[in-house]
Amino acid sequence: MHLSPDEVKRFYGIWFSLLHYVNQKKQLVKSFPAKWGKVSVKPEDAFPLREALWADDSLREAFIAENPAKLSPADLIIVESWKYRVAGSFFIFRYLKKYAVFIAEGSPARAYGVLGLTNDFEDFTGPYLPVYVEAVLLPFEDRIIYDSLISPYPIMFGGGIQRDLNASYRLLEEREGVITSLLPSVSSTADVRKAVQTRNKKTLTAFQKEMGQGGLSPKMMEQHGATIANFAQSLLSQEPPRGLLEMTFIDMKRYLKESKANPVSFKRFVRFLRETERMDYDEAENFLELLKGKD
């Protein structure tokens, strides 16, 4: 859940060169080393340089143009990619084998898979989750790291926050999955379809579970589930492929007309989306209003 030693050396080699350059331009601290590993650096010395850097993209762009540290073209591409950074407040929600899950506070809600640098996040944020932090997430080739400075807040969260985060994470997994790269997507259509299928499967599983808890007979559960699964396949065949949580009323109306599927399945599905907050309440009500009279 963190970078390899060679990757750590590469990141800090770029990062220290960049912060040293910022200090030469802004003179914010007494001194800052040009190379990593020569001397220790206090976070309070790095912090104002980091803040100045992210507040003014022209500093990063000038560093790339001048290349005072004689970085390789590949390393300059890394610096260039940092224009896609994501800064803000996050909940560190879960530690997984591949990364830690950061859920962004605010709207739109997003979940990011973030790697530690020299250590796993658990080593310095502790085993008790969630942890509320301020951070700047950076692309590091096809993965996400942070800019070496992270500010945890000593806040204890109750069960309500944990439940809300669990619900948000579940919806994010179904809507777009955990984001593991900040770079513009170059995924093939086949890759996109595979990802959408995975998300649809989670939504359909939750729908089946909800129908079972509602006391529906196995036969009716199978019929409704099959109708929505077939509808999901119709969305998947479009360009670009879309998931169930991205459906529109036009999609549904067209499918009902072409397939002569049972509208009751869609009413039950929309109610499920509404009650589990997978769909905005007012939007769901509009869907149900438009479905009236289609039995």
Q: Where are the domains of the chain?
A: 5-82, 85-175, 189-291
CA-wise closest residue to 63 among 20, 31, 33: 20
Task: Identify the weakest region by mean pLDDT among 69-83, 165-179, 218-232.
Answer: 165-179
The mean pLDDT value for 87-101 works out to 95
Per DSSP (E only), the strands in the chain are 86-95, 100-104, 111-114, 131-140, 143-146, 151-153
Share of the chain above pLDDT 70, in %: 98
Q: What is the pLDDT of residue 38?
A: 67
Read off the tokens for 156: 């204890």
Q: What is the pLDDT of residues 124-169, one digit of tens each?
A: 888 889 999 999 999 999 999 999 999 888 887 887 888 889 989 9
Q: Distance (Å, rounded) from C-alpha 114 to C-alpha 2?
A: 9
The mean pLDDT value for 2-20 works out to 96
Q: Distance (Å, rounded) from C-alpha 259 to C-alpha 38?
A: 69
pTM: predicted TM-score of the whole model, two decimal places? 0.82
Q: What is the pLDDT of residue 293?
A: 67
Residue of 136 and 262 predicted with greater confidence: 136
Please check the confidence at residue 193 and state whether its pLDDT lies above 80: yes
Q: What is the pLDDT of residue 294?
A: 60
Q: What is the pLDDT of residues 204-243, one digit of tens each?
A: 999 999 999 988 999 999 999 999 999 999 999 988 899 9
For residue 78, count other CB atoms closer than 10 A to its CB.
Answer: 18
Q: What is the pLDDT of residue 192?
A: 86
The mean pLDDT value for 113-128 works out to 91
Q: What is the pLDDT of residue 186?
A: 65
List the CATH code of the domain at 85-175: 2.40.50
Q: What is the pLDDT of residue 102?
A: 97
What per-residue string of b and e applies to 184-196 under the rule 16 or more CB within 10 Å gives b? eeeeeeeebeeeb
Give the rounded distance of the alpha carbon of 87 from its chain centre: 13
Tell me how long the chain is: 295
Read off the tokens for 127: 């085993």
Please check the confidence at residue 295 and state whether its pLDDT lies above 60: no
CA-wise closest residue to 243 among 187, 194, 170, 185: 194
Q: What is the pLDDT of residue 18?
A: 97
Mean pLDDT of all residues in the chain?
Answer: 92
Q: What is the pLDDT of residue 58?
A: 96
| pLDDT band of 27, cuts 50, 70, 90 | very high
CA-wise closest residue to 12 among 146, 126, 110, 127: 146
| pLDDT band of 84, cuts 50, 70, 90 | very high
For residue 260, count other CB atoms closer than 10 A to its CB.
Answer: 8
